[in-house]
Amino acid sequence: MNKYQLPSDSKLLQSDFVFGVATSSYQIEGGVAEGGRTPSIWDTFCKTPNKVDNGDNGDVACDHYHLWQQDIEMIQGLGVDAYRLSIAWPRIMPQDGVVNPEGLAFYEEIIDECHARGMKVYVTLYHWDLPQYLEDKGGWLNRETSYKFAEYARAVSAHFGNKIDVYTTLNEPFVSAFLGYRWGNHAPGIKGEREGFLASHHLMLAHGLAMPILRSNAPHSKHGVVFNASPAYPATSKDQGAADYSEAENYHWFMDPVLKGEYPQLVVERQLVNMPMILEGDLDIISAPVDYVGINYYSRDVMRYNENGDIEKVIQEGAEHTFIGWEVYPQGLTDLLVRLNERYDNIPPIYITENGAACDDHSVVNGQLNDEQRVRYFQSHLNAVDQAIKAGVRVDGYFAWSLMDNFEWAFGYCQRFGMVHVDYQTQQRTLKQSAITYRNTLLARAEENK
């Protein structure tokens, strides 16, 4: 396929719809001991035996710390409007209370380069790389960490102000809280029901505490937060309750406090013994208005009650899955967006801040890699966004995850989400067919909109 096909009346073809690509600091940068950076919880986790597949770590990753100039040039070559990246907290504040000018300078060069090349920058402050010195004091189980995050947000926004076009406080607080502190399969590897819910409240509090600081230091930028969300479907007509609960815990729990100023009753009732300490005023802080909501969508969940009455996921045998084992279900993206629009009165504009597929595309042959499953994935999910917009949802942008293959957390480097192939031996970048198709789509759109 030469370019992604969209109906001629699609809002996605208009020039004010933002197309971008996304990455995050620990997944691509490397340079973990350079520029004054100190360890994050992911450096520690990767060095703990049996936590990450193949013993992989982010020490070098895509070596973006050194190759960022060529990477930004490559991003511009894709014809995107914006680049979504994240800042590594331990580069900016390598020690408690200390701001590192070298860390700020690293990101400033990237931001300036993007602007010089006509791209906007969407910057996430927290994409999971908590400074280890804060974890040593309890990490997200310690309420104080929320205030440390506000200090960090102050340092970044005082320096960059409106230069960052769009600020994101947190990426996927569900993953930080539940994979990190409840189930233990992400850093810092803590397992405990109460811990998961406590960490989630402190993360949301951190978001809320940062919002007024960001607004005051960057009054012309946009400010918001990014959630991962999978719509849930009942396996049988008896399982609607299981699907409803799954959505409540997986994303209403994180979105409701921001957009409704309360936690969902379904979760509060079922998890009564695990409820965190919520101080008076916390929900007012967390529900400060946001300018947009970011949604990361990959797949759906089909849920049922098992014989013990517990809720469990049902694998859809026979359906198409990606290499990482996630079902390909584009209708879920339309359904999700419509459900969000119905659940939240006056929901702010939505950006799809991540969407993509991990495919088994390890080898480049004669400079080419035909990642046809990813091409189909992007095509069907762009259609799904178009359908949601036609159903009345306001979606203002779409960011492909990811620009290039990178460190996929507990899966290490064996899962490749990139539109660009990375040879980790040589750091050679090669555009896969999905990237070429994205580029052709965006260049054709620009031509049409001239």
Catalytic residue numbers read 172, 354
Minimum CB separation from ligand IFM for residue 85, in Å? Answer: 12
State yes or no: 401 annotated in a binding site: yes
State yes or no: 128 annotated in a binding site: no
Minimum CB separation from ligand IFM for residue 280, in Å? Answer: 33
Minimum CB separation from ligand IFM for residue 7, in Å? Answer: 28
Looking at beta carbons only, is 188 or 276 nearer to ligand IFM? 188
Q: Which of residues 53-82 bind ligand IFM (CB under 6 A)?
A: none
> In the stretch 238-277, what mask flags binding to ligand IFM with x, by CB under 6 A?
----------------------------------------
State yes or no: 147 annotated in a binding site: no
Answer for the pair 132, 40: CB distance below 8 angstroms, yes or no: yes
Binding of residue 371 to ligand IFM (CB under 6 A): no
Looking at beta carbons only, is 379 or 415 nearer to ligand IFM? 415
Which of 210, 212, 89 lies closest to 139 in space, CA to CA? 89
- Interhelix angle 101-116/144-160, rounded to 10 degrees, is 50
Give strand pairing partners of 171: 226
Out of 157, 169, 287, 296, which residue is the one contacting ligand IFM (CB under 6 A)?
A: 296
Out of 29, 135, 165, 172, which residue is the one contacting ligand IFM (CB under 6 A)?
A: 172
Distance CA 328, CA 307 (A): 28
**H/E element holding 78?**
none
Looking at beta carbons only, is 168 or 296 nearer to ligand IFM? 296
Give strand pairing partners of 296: 228, 354
Q: What count of Cα atoms within 13 Å lies in the side-chain half-sphere of residue 205? A: 22
State yes or no: 346 annotated in a binding site: no
Binding of residue 361 to ligand IFM (CB under 6 A): no
Looking at beta carbons only, is 45 or 417 nearer to ligand IFM? 417
Which of 265, 254, 104, 103 lies closest to 176 in space, CA to CA? 254
Binding of residue 29 to ligand IFM (CB under 6 A): no
Looking at beta carbons only, is 401 or 438 nearer to ligand IFM? 401
Binding of residue 354 to ligand IFM (CB under 6 A): yes
State yes or no: 370 annotated in a binding site: no
DSSP string, 145-158: HHHHHHHHHHHHHH
Residue 374 backbone phi and psi in degrees, to 5: -65, -35
DSSP string, 321-382: B-TTS-B--THHHHHHHHHHHHHSTTPPPEEEEE----B-----BTTB---HHHHHHHHHHH
Binding site for ligand IFM (CB under 6 A): 24, 27, 172, 296, 354, 401, 408, 417
